[in-house]
A and B are shown apart, each in its own frame.
Chain A
Amino acid sequence: MSIDGRDLKFPKYVWEAPVRIWHWVMALAMVVLCVTGYFIGSPLPSVPGEASDSYLMGYMRFAHFAAAYVFTVMLLMRAYWAIVGNKFSREMFLVPLYVFQPSWWRSFFRVLGHYLFIRRENDWHYGHNQLAMAAMFGMYLLGSVFMIVTGFALYGEGTGMGSWQHSLFSSWVIPLFGQSQDVHTYHHLGMWYLVWFTIVHLYFVIREDITSGLTVVSSMIGGWRDIKN
């Protein structure tokens, strides 16, 4: 295999159905989580009338918690699929192992060189390029796990002592951060971390789709990667 990947055989089935379903459900859950989360932290202007007639914050929090459960279950499913799925489904989980391979780093700097406008053409890959893998692991995966852990810790405060959310998360996360307010603060920061990731992700996906000569956006819908004509 040549290092620039120009001898790879296309079309290639890359993203299996569970990966695609995970991607889009998770993306939707993230939008719901960010919007409702933001408005839980900074609520909308007051609702007029009697308190018994409205339940705005209640619904907002319900949507947040429901989406959070979906998000968590999807990530667990995705982790399971990394074990039983094809090798592309493992890429974002195995970055901590890849960093010990010199060849991975060579490819990483080739991709980086392209994005810094030093190399004209980007390498071709079946799955993620090395920079994308690093971002998927460092930003998306670690960010999501952080949000799930801190999120359940905050949720466990409401469900109370004795609930599994409190026993599994709140009981150690809150003392670890010092107090509840700090967990809130870092949970807010975590949202922004994922927002930064989303901006970068969207940009590079569209950019690659236009400039690389391979299908990118449509691959996450149909699962196949092909050379564009």
Chain B
Amino acid sequence: MTETFYDVLRRQGISRRSFLKFCSLTTASLGLSPTVAPQIAHALENKPRTPVIWIEGLECTCCSESFIRSAHPLAKDAVLSLLSLDYHMTLSAAAGEQLRANAHDTIEKYKGKYILAVEGNPPLNEDGMYCIYYGKPFVETLKKYAKDAKAVIAWGSCASWGCVQAAKPNPTNAVPIDKVITDKPIIKVPGCPPIAEVMTAIVTYVLTFDRLPELDRQGRPKMFYSQRIHDKCYRRPHFDAGQFVEKWDDEAARAGYCLYKIGCKGPTTYNACSTTRWNEGVSFPIQSGHGCIGCSEDGFWDKGSFYDRLTNIPAFGIEANADKVGAVAAGVVGAAVVAHAAVTAIKKASEKSGSTKAEGK
């Protein structure tokens, strides 16, 4: 039998006291009731570690890069103790056929029990030839590995929504993985990349409770994606007060005012950046003085500039936002009304003069 998480910890010389502390901390970070801590401890003591197969399609590996920077829990613990990461091209010590055999062994041995983590997405044009995996289109591997998985985790915006490779005009026809895998539960963890702690916490949750976290209608875990950046932003008081940065280098920027007017997409972006933050809670984009670009939102590459709060409307050959289009059209309507009124007045006047002339005769 595979070792349990607890066995691994004890083997590494960690005391039971520290183990229980970890359980409490994890409970807190998942936002669960304190009474759940013993359940977590029980699960980690008794359940065999969940095998995870992590495959990478059309992507940039930023999700893996983010994952290995997780601080709570440390990525080392997640990979070596918490779960049994049996296959990951970038992180595994083995390579080539040996590594691949490992993946196939796991699929064979843990049919219906392993978790498939997908980073990146499959391009479908030219029969999937734009992304080749061991000599075959990636989409075939994806389908094959997903067939016997218990659940699928879609890491990042690529696997969740399509991201940059699916941006218009999308020459390779890259699609999010839920277009290819339709018969398995999929947890979408969008972000470019997703936050490290969010990634490890979701893995911990699935392992501990043996079920998927509660998902919203778009398939994202509610515990991390139910609020907007704006809802928990530490600059929110400046927004409510009406204090905004107007230019990148103005006094307000130095004073740390709200970045709404220079295009911060915090009010339209669902993610945990403003609460969890990045790199052990050091900072996040807004704290560094740059607005949110909405990287965890569906199709964020195709919504115009990163510094516009409205989506561009391609109209009459020029690109404009809703307010410009609306104001111009209001002007046109106004001008039409004035013209119509003028014609009406002229008509009336000419009728009147016509009738007075008639009367004069």
Contact = CB atoms under 8 A, between A and B. Distances in A.
B327 interface: yes
A158 B246 CA distance: 25
For chain B, what secondary structure do more than half of its interface residues adopt (helix, strand, loop), or is it mixed?
A: helix
A172 interface: yes
B216 interface: yes
B308 to A, nearest CB: 9
A42 interface: yes
Contact of B303 (A44, A55, A181, A195): A181
A46 B268 CA distance: 22
B217 A182 contact: no
Contacts of A55: 240-242
Contacts of B300: 179
A115 B267 CA distance: 45
Given A41-B309, A46-B244, A175-B218, A184 B329 contact: no
| Interface size grouping (class) on chain A | 35 or more
A185 B344 CA distance: 37
B227 A207 contact: no
Classify the interface of chain A: helix, strand, loop or mixed. Answer: helix
Contacts of B252: 46
A186 interface: yes
A47 B239 CA distance: 10
A157 interface: yes
B106 interface: no
Contacts of A195: 326, 330
A152 B306 CA distance: 26
A18 interface: no
Contact of A181 (B242, B265, B340, B343): B265
B316 to A, nearest CB: 15
A43 B244 contact: yes
Interface stretch (A64-72, A94-102, A196-204): A196-204
B241 A161 contact: no
Contacts of A180: 228, 267-270, 297
B30 interface: no
Given A199-B334, A199-B337, A207-B344, A188 B241 contact: no
Contacts of A158: 231
A52 interface: yes
A51 B257 CA distance: 9
Interface stretch (B86-94, B163-171, B278-286, B317-325): B317-325
Interface string A140-164: 0000000000000000011011000
A129 interface: no
Contact of A43 (B261, B269, B323): B261
11 contacts: A43-B242, A45-B246, A51-B241, A120-B351, A179-B297, A180-B297, A181-B297, A192-B325, A196-B329, A203-B341, A207-B340
Interface of A: 38, 41-47, 51-58, 60, 115, 117, 120, 157-158, 160-161, 171-172, 175, 178-182, 184-186, 188-189, 191-193, 195-196, 199-200, 203, 207, 211
Given A41-B323, A179-B268, A185-B322, 7 more contacts: A51-B237, A117-B347, A181-B311, A188-B310, A188-B322, A195-B326, A195-B330
Interface of B: 216-218, 222, 226-228, 231, 237-244, 246, 252, 257, 260-261, 265, 267-270, 294, 297-300, 303, 309-311, 313, 321-323, 325-327, 329-330, 333-334, 337, 340-341, 343-344, 347-348, 351
